[in-house]
């Protein structure tokens, strides 16, 4: 049987996010993703779930090859009918196995990170399976795709306090693996959950993200 890669995990995490948000009413809450509300981050997650390479490049061309413009338009499209409709769209596309160009691990990382961008400000949490976080942490530590996580983690030892995972060399940053993932992707809110001689260096890189 061929390896399904991260898709079963992606599908599971989309469903888990939809379940966690079923009773949310404070959709205008600022997310951890700068300048976006939790509803807008959800719209971005849905947009990724519904895109494929053809629609991605068509929309990019239609936005004058301006990635930020395309992203803004995609979010507006997915949030136009209100949070209930956006959430329904996530459920409808939770098991899709298409996405924009790029490695599938990036879409697992996106639903983990953006799901946390939404959950933490709402006072929600998710106990992600350790294997999922290990996969995501390993991917981000090796990748500068779009968000520069590899550069942010360079020259630091990252050590999880709740999983069998560590990587790198240099001043140590230790703490829950989810917090390490969030810090690698530039979320300053994760820093208070971390400790070690390398935290200030990582914090400076988050502030300049």
**H or E element that contains 172:** strand 172-175
Which residue in this structure is represented by tokens 């992203």?
71
Query: Residues 146, 177: contact at Cβ < 8 Å?
Result: no
pLDDT at 208: 77
Contacts of 30 by beta carbon, 8 Å cutoff, 6+ apart: 36, 37, 38, 121
Mean pLDDT of 36-65: 95
Residue 204 CA to residue 145 CA, distance in Å, equals: 20
pLDDT of residue 90: 97
Contacts of 66 (CB under 8 A, 6+ apart): none
- Model pLDDT, residue 209: 62
Is the CA virtual torsion 170, 175, 180, 183 positive or negative? negative
Share of the chain residues as helix, strand and coil, in percent rounded to the nearest 5 = 55, 5, 35
Going from N- to C-terminal start, the domains of the chain cover: 7-122, 130-207
pLDDT of 85-135, one tens digit each?
999 999 999 999 988 988 999 999 999 999 999 999 999 999 999 999 999
Q: Distance (Å, rounded) from C-alpha 51 to C-alpha 59?
A: 10
Tokens linked to 139: 């991917």
- What is the Cα–Cα distance from 78 to 95, expressed in whole angstroms? 18
Q: So what's the pLDDT on residue 1?
A: 43
How many angstroms separate the Cα of 146 from the Cα of each of 35, 44, 171, 197?
Answer: 17, 15, 25, 27
Q: Are 158 and 173 spatial neighbours (Cβ–Cβ below 8 Å)?
A: yes
Mean pLDDT of 42-60: 94
Q: Which CATH number fits domain 130-207: 1.20.272, 1.20.120, 2.120.10, 3.30.1050?
A: 3.30.1050
Residues 123 and 169: beta-carbon distance below 8 Å: no
| Average pLDDT estimate for 20-40 | 95
Q: How confident is the model at residue 16 (pLDDT cuts 50, 70, 90)?
A: very high
């Amino acid at each position: 049987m061929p390896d399904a890669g991260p898709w079963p995990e992606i599908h599971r995490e989309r469903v888990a996010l939809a379940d966690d948000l079923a009773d949310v009413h404070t959709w205008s809450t600022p997310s951890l993703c700068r300048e976006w509300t939790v509803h807008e981050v959800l719209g971005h997650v849905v947009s990724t779930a519904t895109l494929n390479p053809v629609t991605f490049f068509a929309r990019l061309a239609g936005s004058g090859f301006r990635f930020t413009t395309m992203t803004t338009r995609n979010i507006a499209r997915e949030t136009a009918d209100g949070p209930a409709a956006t959430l329904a769209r996530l459920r409808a596309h939770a098991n899709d196995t298409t996405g924009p160009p790029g490695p599938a691990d990036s879409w697992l990382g996106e639903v983990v990170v953006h799901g946390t961008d939404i959950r933490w400000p709402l006072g929600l949490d998710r106990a992600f399976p350790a294997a999922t976080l290990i996969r995501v942490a390993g991917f981000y530590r090796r990748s500068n795709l779009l968000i520069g996580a590899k550069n942010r983690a360079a020259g630091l030892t990252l050590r999880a306090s709740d999983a069998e995972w560590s990587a790198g060399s240099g001043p140590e940053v230790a703490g829950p693996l989810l917090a390490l993932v969030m810090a690698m992707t530039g979320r300053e809110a994760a820093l208070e959950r971390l400790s070690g001689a390398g935290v200030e260096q990582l914090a400076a890189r988050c502030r300049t993200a």
